[in-house]
Amino acid sequence: MTPRNIAKAKIGDCFYVPIIDAKGGLINDPVMLKLAEDQFWLSIADSDVLLYAMGLALGRGMDVDIIEPDINTLSIQGPKAEDLLASIFGEKIRDIGFFKYGWIEFKGTRQLMARSGYSRQGGFEIYLQGGHLGSALWDTIWEAGLPFNISPGCPNLIERIEGGLFSYGNEMTRENNPFEIGHGKFCVVDGSIDYIGRAALQKIAAEGVNREIRGITFGGDPCPTCSTPWPVFSAERQVGQITSGIWSPRLKKNIGQSMVDRDFWDPGQAVTVVLPNGNIRGGNVVALPIR
């Protein structure tokens, strides 16, 4: 399913693994956790993988069990996350490396905690086995977090765009391949491993891509939330479309992420962005993350 060489993964590792179809299109971009030599979890993005995996296993006659376990993920992010969780689960959690996981005890159960999350601020994710423990875990972290000024939240759109974090269904779909979103480093194309879409990905790698994900900054008043793509032009030619956009208070300008055509993707390229109300804003292509 993935062009990444997961044979290099060790127990305790979390691997980002693009999952592609026969044409090299992205089906999902989950985090894979290796629990044992013959057991893996996939923490998936916003698309289905279960039926795809089951279909491949059935078609290839594999002797594997593919299930959706009773796992619920709670993300604790931010500069105080480590101190908070250490106060609850002990100092050993400080030894968990980036994109690694360890085990904690909660209510007499053994639970997995990974140093990962959909944020550039750093933090942890708890993979809670057993939905019946969800309320108790939330209450425990909430009460312990009050001295740390904890608050509930969700992935921050401003931080996500500034930090160059992509959202499946926005920045990438099956119409995109890993190279277009800068994830060629996760793809083995030398023929040393087999996977669905290998020939297609080898061809893409050899020929290069015609578009790549970039940041775009543009002026004017704070833009609305980008719910449908906004066209990006250079002169009279459309050269991309913003798929996630927002006003950045830190940068004092509007920011977005866009697939941009090859001849126009260099940082500094002047572009215009057309908002849903027809308002035209001047801007520039910038590298990701947006500084």
What SS3 string covers 82-108?
A: HHHHHHHHCHHHHHCCECEEEEEEECC
Q: What pTM was estimated for this model as a whole?
A: 0.92
Residuewise pLDDT in 10s, the chain (291 residues): 999 999 999 999 999 999 999 999 999 999 999 999 999 999 998 888 999 999 999 999 999 999 999 999 999 999 999 999 999 999 999 999 999 999 999 999 999 999 999 998 999 999 999 999 999 999 999 999 999 999 998 889 999 999 999 999 999 999 999 999 999 999 999 999 999 999 999 999 999 999 999 999 999 999 998 989 999 999 999 999 999 999 999 999 999 999 999 999 999 999 999 999 999 999 999 999 999
How many other CB atoms sit within 10 Å of the CB of residue 27?
23
Same topology, domains 71-158 and 210-291? Answer is no
| pLDDT at residue number 168 | 93
What's the topology of domain 71-158? Answer: Gyrase A; domain 2 (3.30.1360)
- How many angstroms separate the CA atoms of 50 and 193, rounded? 22
Q: Note the helical H segments in the chain.
A: 50-59, 81-89, 134-145, 157-163, 198-207
The answer, yes or no, to whether the previous bond of 289 is cis (omega within 30 of 0) is yes
CATH architecture of 210-291: Beta Barrel (2.40)
* Helix-helix angle 81-89:134-145, to 10 degrees: 120
Q: What is the pLDDT of residues 109-168, one digit of tens each?
A: 999 999 999 998 999 999 999 999 999 999 999 999 999 999 998 889 999 999 999 999
Domain residues of the chain, as ranges?
Answer: 71-158, 210-291
How confident is the model over 264-281, as pLDDT tens digits?
999 999 999 999 999 999
